[in-house]
Amino acid sequence: MSETKEEAQASHTRARTKGASMRFKGKTALVSGAGGPMGGAIANRLAAEGADLVLTDISTNRLNGVVEKLKKEFPETSVVAHRASVLLKAEVDELLAAAAARYQGIDILVNVVGGIRGDLAVPFMTMSEERWNETFEINLKGIFHLVRQVGQGMLARSYGRIVNISSVVYAGDIHQPEYGAAKAAVASITRSLALELAPHITVNCVAPGIIATSVLDRLDKKMLQSYLDRTPLRRLGKPEDIAAAVAFLSSDDAAFITGAILPVTGGIWPAL
């Protein structure tokens, strides 16, 4: 009997992570936006290396799907899954209460929530104020709530790893001016927090390039080809590429790295 696509992917993941170090054994990681392809891949990678997990997403169905796959792949992994909008303080409070009922504290915080609603590319001169404000809220409000609350526990324990997700477009891009500005703000707050939360907490940022997810279905094909043509490695990124970078920055292998913006882009810089 031939493997299903899901079984083949699980076999590939097991082969890839077999023999991987258990860098996160005894550590608890909170991943926001865990129901999406990138958040799910990050959760999978951290679980593969021994982390206990707190996962949240605005979609219960997406979140349950990720948890189901994790339980099949890593049945020994402890997972707290809680549906929440991290843009709302009250829901973040409930999320962290659920985490506190299981774990002593959060060691690793990965802020994945972000993106753009509606059309992926809108010219600045015709953009609505609502879209501008909404894009900044989606990409920054979750970081505001989660770092302020999770960071308090990290400071009390004198240990923490925080990884934010920005984007290659933080360098400037003609197609997404509001998204680029919001992601530049993510990079900026990363550097500011790295200074404020030192010396026992590191704060870093991963800036993905074009990643192969369903979001690309909303991208104009000519625009996508333009990005590919300017990518030296000549392929789209995978969620697993981002997960590997996040795992590194979350680990003690990166203990002397803070305030860094790590591009995982295949070499592309949109403004250049």
Inter-axis angle of helices 37-48 and 5-17, nearest 10: 40
Q: Which of 103, 159, 170, 179 is the catalytic position?
A: 179
170 is an active site residue:
no
Residue 175 CA: distances (Å) to CA of 127, 166, 184, 219, 235 = 12, 16, 15, 11, 20
Cα–chain-centroid distance for residue 60?
Answer: 18
Is the Cβ–Cβ distance between 64 and 90 less than 8 Å? no
**DSSP, residue by residue, 20-78:** ---TTTT-EEEEETTTSHHHHHHHHHHHHTT-EEEEEES-HHHHHHHHHHHHHH-TT--
H or E, element range at 2: none
Q: Which amino acids are annotated catalytic?
A: 179
